[in-house]
Amino acid sequence: MTGFTSKIVHSDRLSPIEHGSLHKPIHATVAYGYEDARELAAVFQGSASGYTYGRQVNPTVDALQEKVTAMENGVATVCFTTGMAAIGTMIFALLRRGDHLVSSSFLFGNTNSLFNSFTAHGVDVTFVDAQDVEAVAAGINERTRMVFVETIANPRTQVSALAEIGELCRERGLVYVVDNTMTSPYLFQPKAVHASLIINSLTKYIGGHGNALGGAITETGLYDWSSFDNIYDTYKGGDPSKWAITQIKKKGLRDFGASLGAEAAHHLAVGAETLALRLDRQCANAQAMAEYLQNSAWVQAVYYPGLPGHPQHDRAAALFRHPGALVSFELAPEVDIWEYMNGLKVIVKSSNLGDNRTLAIPVAHTIYYEMGPERRASMGIADTLIRISVGIEDIDDLLADLAQAGENNGAA
């Protein structure tokens, strides 16, 4: 089986499960008992494989980790209770006081906030315009260990210079982390641009149904960690391309404890089975909505990489299977953003993204409120910007909803 969906749909049953169960069961257990104390010790010491304590390992979570690894074509994955826990634990496990991180300035708001917190704890961060590899290169100094970018930035849909930054990191020996949440491994595999580690918020497209939180870090196997100072000697066994994921699991997950629960892992694994089907539909809907909005009198600007006028339209077309399912737009000055938002009847006013339902949010007043007007301006976030996470509804219903919300505001 080589197809993206075939591999995911059949991955559980290819390992033996009691009664021939087709889904990995929900293992609701904290601890695992052993008949032989020597075997228990061997598992703790790593000379035998097995389960110890639920903060570090759970069979249901393992099954999901295998799916994410297969989707990303990586070598290993560790799951966390949220996407933020994955990012925070990765930085905590791999960087130390005095280290420097170069990050895209076009970031998920909470990641921006997290990086500012790490600055207060002694890990310096420089934010750069990751649409341009030269800007990333200019941000690197002798203490830089890692470069962090997103694929399509939320909410303004800037596309990072993913391939060029991968090349730069390879030349300079830097760890290259790509947050693939907005594209998911169905639209894009960051391993193709030489990423070292991949972040996915499983909460979004991979889970897809807005019913469970989760995050993942996947090691691609492309980075040689023997040249990275911050790996502890105890984790330097075996293949150096897997040392980071071992340290993330032992020093990150075990010390910090942001472990994914078995029940959430089950929900996310079921969601993952239909990732490709959902995204084909969501991206087609997004394209139609972006084209519709672009021709609406009450809209001032539309941001979607599938539109020919988008600054990185060609880059997105070259890298991604589809240009994503997030559309954002600025209303014309005469349209009241609150009246317009309240006019939406099918589209839900909500903060999540990647859900089956179409969700809209006035970003400057909500998820990007706390960062203040200056930082918002630097990210290109206007007060009239509305972000739409496009769902799987029938496109006619979505277009009719946008049309009536505009018309009811006297701006047809």
Ligand X SMILES: *Cc1c(COP(=O)(O)O)cnc(C)c1O
Phi, psi at 408, each rounded to 5°: -70, -10
Q: Which amino acid is at 194?
A: H
**Nearer of residues 216 and 405 to ligand X, judged by Cβ:** 216
Which one of residues 154, 160, 358, 384 is an interface residue with ligand X (CB under 6 A)?
154
Minimum distance, C-beta of residue 291 to ligand X, in the bound complex (Å): 24
Would you tell me the crossing angle of helices 262-272 and 59-72 to the nearest 10 degrees?
Answer: 30
Minimum distance, C-beta of residue 179 to ligand X, in the bound complex (Å): 5
Interstrand relation of 100-104 and 144-150 (parallel, antiparallel or unpaired): parallel
Q: What is the Cα gyration radius of the chain? A: 22
Minimum distance, C-beta of residue 308 to ligand X, in the bound complex (Å): 25
By CB under 6 A, tell whether 203 contacts ligand X: yes
Minimum distance, C-beta of residue 31 to ligand X, in the bound complex (Å): 27
Which candidate, 321, 319, 324, places its Cα nearest to that of 163?
319
Q: Which stretch binds ligand X (CB under 6 A): 27-35, 196-204, 263-271, 322-330?
A: 196-204
Q: Which stretch binds ligand X (CB under 6 A): 34-42, 176-184, 315-323, 400-408?
A: 176-184
Minimum distance, C-beta of residue 215 to ligand X, in the bound complex (Å): 5
**Nearer of residues 169 and 182 to ligand X, judged by Cβ:** 182
Question: Can you tell me the distance from the alpha carbon of 231 to that of 305, in angstroms, rounded to the nearest whole number?
Answer: 38
By CB under 6 A, tell whether 181 contacts ligand X: yes
Minimum distance, C-beta of residue 144 to ligand X, in the bound complex (Å): 21
Minimum distance, C-beta of residue 66 to ligand X, in the bound complex (Å): 20
E strand map for 283-381: 299-303, 326-331, 348-349, 359-362
| Binding to ligand X in span 359-388, by CB under 6 A | none
Please spell the DSSP secondary structure of 161-202, one letter per residue.
Answer: -HHHHHHHHHHHT-EEEEE-TTTHHHH--GGGGT-SEEEEET
| Binding to ligand X in span 34-93, by CB under 6 A | 82-84
Instruction: Number of residues interacting with ligand X: please give it, by CB under 6 A.
Output: 15
Interstrand relation of 359-362 and 326-331 (parallel, antiparallel or unpaired): unpaired
Closest chain position to ligand X (CB): 83
Which one of residues 12, 99, 129, 179 is an interface residue with ligand X (CB under 6 A)?
179
By CB under 6 A, tell whether 182 contacts ligand X: yes
Nearest-10 Cα torsion for 87, 90, 91, 92:
120
Q: Which stretch binds ligand X (CB under 6 A): 24-32, 201-209, 296-304, 404-412?
A: 201-209
Which candidate, 183, 199, 133, 186, places its Cα nearest to that of 163?
133
Q: Which amino acid is at 156?
A: R
Q: Are 182 and 152 in contact (CB under 8 A)?
A: yes
By CB under 6 A, tell whether 103 contacts ligand X: no
Minimum distance, C-beta of residue 168 to ligand X, in the bound complex (Å): 21
Which one of residues 105, 184, 201, 384 is an interface residue with ligand X (CB under 6 A)?
201
By CB under 6 A, tell whether 183 contacts ligand X: no
E strand map for 182-293: 197-201, 215-219
Instruction: Work out the burial of residue 220: count CB atoms within 10 Å of its CB; fewer than 13 is exposed, 13-18 middle, 19 or more buried.
Output: buried
Q: Are 146 and 174 in contact (CB under 8 A)?
A: yes
By CB under 6 A, tell whether 185 contacts ligand X: no
| Binding to ligand X in span 215-274, by CB under 6 A | 215
By CB under 6 A, tell whether 150 contacts ligand X: yes
Q: Which residues bind ligand X (CB under 6 A)?
A: 82-84, 108, 111, 150, 154, 179, 181-182, 201, 203-204, 213, 215
